[in-house]
Amino acid sequence: MRWSQTFIPTLKETPADAEIVSHQLLLRAALVRKLTGGLYTFLPLGLRALRKVERIVREEMDRAGALEVFMPALQPPEIWQQSGRYVTAREVLYKVRDRADKEWLLGPTHEEVITSLVAGEINSYRQLPKNFYQVQTKFRDEIRPRFGLMRAKEFIMKDAYSFDVTDQAAQVSYQKMYDAYTRIFQRCGLRTLPVEADTGVIGGKFSHEFMVPAETGENEVVYCETGPYAANLEKAVSQGPLTPCPLADTGHEPERFATPGVLTIEALSQAPYHVPASAQIKTLVYMVKPFGSEDSHPVAILLRGDDQLNEAKLAGPLGSNVFRPATPEEIFLVLGAHPGSLGAVASRLPTQAAALPVFADEALRGAAGMTTGANEDGYHVRHVNLTRDVRVTHWADLRTVRVGERCVVSGQPLKIRRAIEVGHVFKLGTKYSEALNARYLDETGVSRPCVMGCYGIGVTRTLQAIVEQSNDKDGVRWPVAVAPYTVLITPLNVAPESPGMQLAERIYADLATRGVEVLLDDRDERPGVKFKDADLIGIPLRVSIGEKSLARGEVELKPRGGAMTAAKAEDAVARVLEWLHEAEASRAT
């Protein structure tokens, strides 16, 4: 391709509304353009890179035995009602109406559609296992679309869904996808870290996210440097707080004491009270809407004063992922006090709270001599013994892990870093197959629900994550496998009769016939402009043809970000092929 014939509108200035480097480079290197927040057009260079990522994804999915299909993006709401996600996923659903005022959904994901397909087509164990995938546009009404392609309203996902006869068989399908993902990201030139991920209401151990470590990532990953443990902060566990709760019973009964104006854990830890946060109980009230119900009810959540609630951990114990913090009015209705003075000591609960479910964090188990709100504005209670004085209905791990806590595997201190989630593999079980009737008859003629898994890669997010990980101050540094072009030829004199341009044309034609994806910068621009653009768009290998070196019969080869070497003009093609070959080989190892 000739630069003058394609469309590469590079930008000199950094666009003001692009906050992170990859977003800036996507715009500056003419890969995409913004239509409006969360919606982007791929320009020719960006689309070429995107197609490369997609090709790698398809090759690895095919290799793993998955079957490509293509499902409608427009979906009927009925199947979402059947699965329950019409309610639970309502926040991200784009809804549209047709001429008869019937509602339709723009698919944010496709579990419902694929499960409906399987329900109609598969009825015997002989037809299983099956894994179907597609590469398709998804629509999500994100609260905060941002960072370019990272969190868009419309994006391309590769989604796959496996169907198996048993849990054990589903585990095999899961592992195949895990391995395929590892290969996909490796081939894309991305360093990823697979981490244990939250499974929400579905529960179970089997969910991993593939994370690209990056300061700009929206996720936090807890990991251990000496062992294999790595988990999304939403899911992460540790051996517990570094300073344990007091356990020794003081022998005293709970005692109410006046704390006028004290509304925070921090205030109670100061003079004149001096109650350390680790000896306080924090009481939160949440409103929960159980699955299939229209009404919400309050629950109390107890944590150590110095711990933070991990909301992602709530869904499992609550059995619902529709919940929110209660308003001060709702809290007052049930506990008769305002935030800052709340507590769950049984003897201090008003009658209307007698049946209030109380979820306590494991770190509080056995704690004694604790202080908490008295459920009376301006008062707290001390000498609280969890076992004796609080009617805990559910114990669960609800706290957020902190840096330095001990790893449950190695016992070493944990670290936390930010990361971008590019892929997610998930063992679903039978939630969708039961709801949507995807059943098969086993060898003995018994009808059973298929055991499912689902596997997503954000293809457009992956593309941007590659740029986020592979760049320098001058621009993008594309890994060869996903570069829009692999070779850029830069003649400095582009007059058609000039020896430099004639040589450039010969090398260009020669490489192109050998199947090398080559871009010829035939613009009549100053060398400075050409080299700056070359660095910005980040083509892996540049062949520069200047008058001076050509007078010596030489051209210059420069890998992006590497050192320049001279090559004899007549060897240029061979040297380029050799370089590509080596790049290929080093990638394979």
- Please identify, using beta-carbon distances, which residue of 458 and 538 lies nearer to ligand ATP: 458
Residue 157 binding ligand ATP, by CB under 6 A: yes
Question: Considering beta carbons, is residue 151 or 391 the nearer one to ligand ATP?
Answer: 151
Selected from 80, 132, 155, 185, the binder of ligand ATP by CB under 6 A is 155
Residue type for 395, please? Answer: W
Buried b (16+ CB within 10 A) or exposed e, 522-537: bbebeeeebbbbbbbb
Considering only residues 392-431, where is the footprint of ligand ATP by CB under 6 A?
421-424
Q: Which is nearer to ligand ATP, 142 or 377 (CB)?
A: 142
Q: How far is the CB of 461 from ligand ATP (least distance, A)?
A: 4
- Tell the smallest beta-carbon distance from residue 109 to ligand ATP (Å): 6
Of 363 and 452, CB closest to ligand ATP: 452
The answer to whether 398 and 408 are in contact (CB under 8 A) is no
Pick 211 or 285: Cβ nearer ligand ATP:
211
Q: Taking CB under 6 A as the criterion, which residues in 27-56 touch ligand ATP?
A: none
Non-local CB neighbours of 472 within 8 Å, separated by 6+ positions:
561
In the complex, the smallest distance separating the C-beta of residue 316 from ligand ATP, rounded to whole angstroms, is 16
Residue nearest to ligand ATP (CB): 458
How many residues form the binding site for ligand ATP (CB under 6 A)?
15
Q: Would you list the DSSP string of 541-569?
A: EEEEE-HHHHHTTEEEEEETTS--EEEEG
| C-alpha closest to that of 186 among 422, 506, 529 | 422
Q: Which is nearer to ligand ATP, 23 or 304 (CB)?
A: 23
How many other C-beta atoms are found inside a 10 Å radius of the C-beta of residue 319?
11
Instruction: Name which of residues 457 to 486 contact ligand ATP (CB under 6 A).
Output: 458, 460-461
Residue number with CB closer to ligand ATP (208 or 530): 208
Residues 521-560 close enough to bind ligand ATP by CB under 6 A: none
27's tokens: 């715009």
C-alpha span between 203 and 197 (Å, rounded): 11
Pick 454 or 555: Cβ nearer ligand ATP:
454
The residues facing 456 across adjacent strands are: 159, 424
By CB under 6 A, name the one of 51, 58, 151, 406 that touches ligand ATP: 151
Q: In angstroms, rounded to a whole number, what is the distance separating the alpha carbons of residues 107 and 111?
A: 10
Which of 277-285, 313-321, 350-358, 454-462 is the region at the interface with ligand ATP (rule: CB under 6 A)?
A: 454-462
109 is a site residue for ligand ATP (CB under 6 A): yes
| Distance from C-alpha of 418 to C-alpha of 477, rounded to nearest angstrom | 22
Q: What is the CA radius of gyration of the chain?
A: 30
CB 423, min distance to ligand ATP, A: 5
Strands 487-491, 518-520: parallel, antiparallel or unpaired by DSSP?
Answer: parallel
Closest CB 458 distance from ligand ATP, rounded Å: 2
Rule CB under 6 A: say whether 158 interacts with ligand ATP: no
Shortest gap between Cβ of 462 and ligand ATP (angstroms)? 7
Under DSSP, the state recorded for 233 is: T
Supply 494's token pair: 């582009």
**Do β-strands 451-458 and 415-429 pair in parallel, antiparallel, or remain unpaired?**
antiparallel
39 or 403, CB closer to ligand ATP? 39
Q: What value, to the nearest 5°, has the Cα angle with vertex 423 and ends 421 and 426?
A: 115
434's tokens: 């039961």
Three-class DSSP category at 369: coil
Interaction site with ligand ATP (CB under 6 A): 109, 140, 142, 151-152, 155, 157, 421-424, 456, 458, 460-461
